[in-house]
Amino acid sequence: MIAVDWGTSSFRAWRLAADGAVLDAREAPRGILFVKDGKFAETLRTEIGDWLAAGERHVVMSGMIGSRQGWVEAPYLPCPAGLPDLAMALVRVPFSDADLRLVPGLTCTDAAGVPEVMRGEETQVASTLTEGASVICLPGSHSKWVRARAGRIIDFATCFAGEMFAALRSATILGRMMTDAPIEFAPFDRGVARSGEPGHLLHHLFGVRTLGLMGRLADADSAAYLSGLLIGHEIRAAMPRDTEVDLIGTDALCTLYARAIAACDGRVGAVNAGSAQRGLAMIGERVRWD
């Protein structure tokens, strides 16, 4: 089968053997944002047409390709949901070259009845589900904190953390002093520590400015400090106290979140035990293909 993780900014595909082994892999900057005029079929043929020509007939896709802005909209499946639920709810995409199915996103509501959504992360998380209870954090523009039990995702909460960081950096006075220096651990840790001090996020944010003004935070350190401050606030607010947290994400973000979780008296469990490729393979195993 072919597994495709087709997100907002990138396209990734794997050709998989019957036992799930990766035979070949592709990656391209062809996220749905960069596909013009709905030419998704053409883009798919461009990227993996040779695999289809070689006889692959079964394709499972996850990510924003199933959103309203994607190829076909796959409605959100309500939680709780696990691998069998996702496999049952796949949405067919009309495509002459193969039997093409979309993994739906998931939805739940928070304590006040406000909806939550994810699309793409459910596939990564699904590959790690066990009979026990777990908490999985997927850091990113819109970080997800997922609670799972008995093989199913129970519910989840989104934090507007990564995109907040980018907006504060690009569009406020806090970003004016920031440099392109890489995120160093020392100022990052200082920001995480600050997030635990008296006060609140909106107050702590102004401190990024005053510490710089008073010569107590170097320009080159201020982006790392802000990152630590936001991630620290996110973790203190979103992390359950009584269980370890598994992480799924880029190495850079997982490293930062692991440091911050430890600094906030949390425990990190598995890092990147789950992946889109693995989840797509596991969902694909459960599909009754035509």
91-120 mask for a copy of itself (x: CB under 8 A)?
A: -------------------xxx-xxxx---
**Joined tokens for residue 239:** 């992390």
Strand 11-16 relative to strand 2-6, pairing: antiparallel
Q: Which one among 77, 205, 247, 276 touches a copy of itself, defined by CB under 8 A?
A: 205
Among 237, 252, 265, 267, binds a copy of itself (CB under 8 A): 237
Verify binding: residue 201, a copy of itself, rule CB under 8 A. yes
Among 32, 93, 164, 282, binds a copy of itself (CB under 8 A): 164
CB of 192 to a copy of itself, least distance (A): 13
Confirm or reject binding of residue 213 to a copy of itself (CB under 8 A).
Answer: yes
Can residue 176 be called a binding residue for a copy of itself (CB under 8 A)?
Answer: no
Does the footprint of a copy of itself cover residue 234 (CB under 8 A)?
Answer: yes
Query: Does 218 contact a copy of itself by CB under 8 A?
Result: no
Minimum Å gap between C-beta 8 and a copy of itself is: 10
Cβ atoms < 10 Å from Cβ of 160: 13
Contact 6, 61 (CB under 8 A): yes
| H/E stretch holding 59 | strand 58-62
Strand ranges of the sheet holding 2-6, from the earlier edge strand across to the other edge: 22-28, 11-16, 2-6, 58-62, 99-102, 91-93
Which residues share a beta bridge with 271?
Answer: 247
Tell me: cis bond preceding 139? Omega within 30 of 0 counts: no
Please report, for residues 50, 51, 58, 101, the alpha-carbon distance to residue 290 in angstroms, rounded to integers and kept in the order given: 21, 19, 9, 11
Residue with tokens 């406020």: 172
Size of the residue set binding a copy of itself (CB under 8 A): 45
Q: Which of 140, 207, 266, 279 binds a copy of itself (CB under 8 A)?
A: 207
Q: Within 10 A of 194 (CB to CB), how many other CB atoms are there?
A: 18
- For position 173 contacting a copy of itself by CB under 8 A, the verdict is yes
How would you classify the pairing of strands 143-149 and 152-159? antiparallel
By CB under 8 A, residue 167 contacts a copy of itself: yes
Supply 184's token pair: 């160093």
Instruction: For residue 163, state whether it binds a copy of itself (rule: CB under 8 A).
Output: yes
Footprint of a copy of itself on residues 4-33 (CB under 8 A)? none
Q: Which residues bind a copy of itself (CB under 8 A)?
A: 110-112, 114-117, 142, 157-161, 163-164, 166-168, 170-174, 194, 197-207, 210-211, 213-214, 216, 230, 233-234, 237-238
